[in-house]
Structure 1
Amino acid sequence: MHVSMSAWIITIAALLALLVLDFLIVARKPHEPSLREATLWVSFYVGIAVAFGVGLTLAAGGEAGGEFFAGWLTEYSLSVDNLFVFIIIMGRFAVPRQYQQKVLLVGVALALVMRGIFIALGAEAISHFNWVFFIFGAFLLFTAWKLATSKEEDEFKENIVLVKVRKVLPTTEGYHQARLTTRVDGKRFATPMLIVMIAIGTTDLLFALDSIPAIFGLTQHAYLVFTANAFALMGLRQLFFLIGGLLDRLVYLSYGLSVVLGFIGVKLILEAMHHQGVSWAPEIPILVSLAIILGTLTITAVASLVKSARDDRAATKEPAPVAEEVPAE
């Protein structure tokens, strides 16, 4: 699939315009969006992604459209997993609710920049070295194992960058609105908001390391890789407020994602072996990949909600503990 430079420019300009619109809305009036507002924005961004995929299918064919939708679904699911960590970070640093939108918007912008850099580097490496697929595949298998065996409370630990920044920068105790720095008695101090931004940014970097090999396992077209990532990140801010409470109910999400990443890792290794001349190693059609990804995520979501509902019913049926009677003296 050939994509002209003008198509690249138009796509990037449109995505930047959406990001700027998001930023202006937050900057004009920092607030916690209502359920209705969040639902409308998430529906808007999902609708744009679906419309783009349908248009791509009509213009470039079913294979390109299938690769986009498979990549978008995978990256969107990984973005939802991102929200778990964002919630932990927000809670750990006690970010006021009215300023959480700004943190999320900056996080999305940083994720777009970092993933754009990784996409460019990944595309360049793949064009010169076919063995990179073996590395990507092995990395995804390791990530799948890590997701399946990790605990939720282990998903965020202060990395070395954050630890060093906290040691070097003098920081105020409390927040000063949404400012990153402030002056106290004539001296410049960082605020907890700056520390949160660094935590979100470095976390985005780690998630980009997982997501880019995953998308390259579904398509090697840099344009599809970029747009699938961009549309998966758009609306993440509103999704945070829409399903923030629901995230706790997606108890099997990590297992579902581990299955998806494991499948893509195996797919990458098999296809790399196929291109190296191994006759028994198959190439997995994109429609099969799309069906496996969609089916796994659907089963994961349904099983999670069923388990959460069962746990809620069991909790309400538990009898209250009976106080022991103290014998009279």
Structure 2
Amino acid sequence: MNVPVWLWFVTVAALLAVILVDLFVVDSHPHRVKFAEATRWVLFYLALAVLFGLGVWYFAGGTSAGEFFAGYLTEYSLSVDNLFIFVIIMTAFRVPEEHQHRVLLVGVVIALVMRGAFIAVGAAAIAEFSWVFYLFAVVLLVTAYRLVRSHGESDKEYKENSALRLLRRVLPVTDEYHGTRTVVRIDGKRWVTPMLVVMIAIGTTDLLFALDSIPAIFGLTKEPYLVFTANAFALMGLRQLYFLLGSLLKRLVYLSYGLSVILAFIGVKLVLEALHENELPFINGGDAVPVPQVGIAVSLGVIVGVLAITTVASLIKTRRDANSVTSTTA
């Protein structure tokens, strides 16, 4: 897939336009985002992703479109797991409900910029060194193991990362929110508000998740444009999904298991890819190893299937638990 420079500029410009509309039109009057509004926006961003994928199919073929959809579904499903942490952050910082949309929007923009830089570095490394796939595979397999080990531990107390601790040491932070303002002047002295701190918390915390999700999508496509756009659509739709799911997140009790299966699958796929393009002298004398390749159709089928099974099993589990509690108290 040969992506011209002008298409990158058009894509980034369109993304900025959506963000500006969201910021100055949708969020011009801070309010609590209700279920119906969140549903409309989730469907809107899903439709945008589908239309974009169909456009990729039309101009670049079915393989590239399949890679985009597989990457998008993987990033979106991994992002759903991030929502647990976002809920904890919002609670820890006591963000007013009417300002949570603004916090998520700016936090996502910060995350998207940092992910863009990470994608550029990852693409350059892969183009230069095929053995990077081994490294990515190790990251994914370790993450898959940790997801299984940490199942049910999503309610842990949020701890500020080093970036936030440095910010608090360098800049004075007010104790209270001042609307949506990030900087205020009090008695002639400039202070930052908790609004800025929580925005940075969302953005920098997402980068930690990107250390797992970016290698995962590079296991599905090597095209940086598809990696970036899949991430962009997943992050933009994530904000509204936060308000749509709400307490429903706790019903996805098997989500961590499903994500671990997906990450482990992509990890194995990366190992096969690395062996197929092997350049390491201590493996098969530096020659390529004749191993089977996993096509994008199989990858997409595994991702969709695992997510469907995970969701259905989670809903059945929570329903049975609710019925057993009801029968016990009756």
TM-score range relative to shorter protein:
over 0.9
Cross-structure match for 2:260: 258
Per-residue Cα deviation, 1:89-148 (whole angstroms, up to 9, x for no partner): 001111000000110001111121111111111111111111111111111111111222
Aligned-partner Cα distance in 2 for 1:231–1:56: 14
1:26 deviates by 4.3
- Figure out how many residues of one structure are paired with residues of the other and give that number: 320
Partner of residue 273, structure 2: 271
Q: Secondary structure at the match of 1:135?
A: helix
For structure 2, which runs of at least 5 residues remain unmatched after alignment? 279-286
Output the CA distance in 2 between the equivalents of 1:127 and 1:121: 10
Instruction: Give the equivalent residue in structure 1 for 2:282.
Output: none
Identity within the alignment, %: 60
TM-score (norm 2): 0.92
Task: Measure, in 1, the Cα distance between the counterparts of 2:88 and 2:162.
Answer: 18
Deviation per residue, 1:18-63 (Å, 9 max, x gap): 1111111344111112222111111111011111112211221111
Offset at residue 264 of structure 1 (A) = 0.7
Superposed displacement of residue 204, structure 1? 1.7
Runs of 5+ in structure 1 lacking a partner? 321-329
In structure 2, distance between residues paired with 1:155 and 1:305 = 26
| CA deviation after TM superposition for structure 1 residue 84, in Å | 1.1
Find the residue that maps to 1:318 and give its secondary structure: helix
Q: C-alpha displacement at 1:189, in angstroms? A: 2.6
Question: Residues of 2 paired with 1:310 and 1:166: CA distance?
Answer: 46
Q: Is the Cα–Cα contact under 8 Å of residues 85 and 155 in structure 1 kept in the other structure?
A: no
Give the equivalent residue in structure 1 for 2:56: 56
- Aligned-partner SS, 2:184: strand
The residue that corresponds to 1:309 in the other structure is 319
Aligned to 2:40: 40
Displacement of 1:238: 1.4
Bigger Cα Rg: 1
What is the CA-CA distance between 1:287 and the residue it aligns to?
Answer: 0.5
- Structure 1 range deviating more: 235-244 or 117-126: 235-244
Equivalent position of 2:284 in the other structure: none
1:265 alignment partner AA = G
The answer to whether structure 1 residue 4 and structure 2 residue 4 are counterparts is: yes
* CA 261–156 in structure 1, closer or farther in 2 if over 3 Å, else same: farther
1:198-221 CA deviation, whole Å, 9 max, x = no partner?
211210221221111111000001
Structure-to-structure mapping, 1:150-165, within 5 angstroms: 150=150, 151-154=153-156, 156-165=158-167
For 1:287-326, what aligned pairs fall within 5 Å after superposition? 287-319=297-329
* Residue 77 of structure 1 pairs with residue 69 of structure 2: no
CA 42–197 in structure 1, closer or farther in 2 if over 3 Å, else same:
same
Question: Could you tell me whether the CA contact under 8 Å between 1:93 and 1:192 is conserved in 2?
Answer: yes
Flag the 1:155–1:18 CA change in 2: closer, same or farther, 3 A: farther
Q: Separation in 2 of the partners of 1:119 and 1:306?
A: 38
> Any idea what SS the aligned residue of 1:234 has?
helix
Following the alignment from structure 1 to structure 2, what is the Cα–Cα distance between the partners of residues 15 and 168? 32
Partner of 1:67: 67
Match of residue 92 from structure 1: 92
> Amino acid of the residue matched to residue 268 of structure 2?
V
How far does residue 2 in structure 1 lie from its aligned partner after superposition? 1.0
Determine if contact 2:178/2:193 at 8 Å carries over to the other structure. yes
> 1:160, CA displacement in angstroms?
2.0
The answer to whether structure 1 residue 175 and structure 2 residue 152 are counterparts is: no
Alpha carbon RMSD of aligned pairs, Å?
A: 1.6
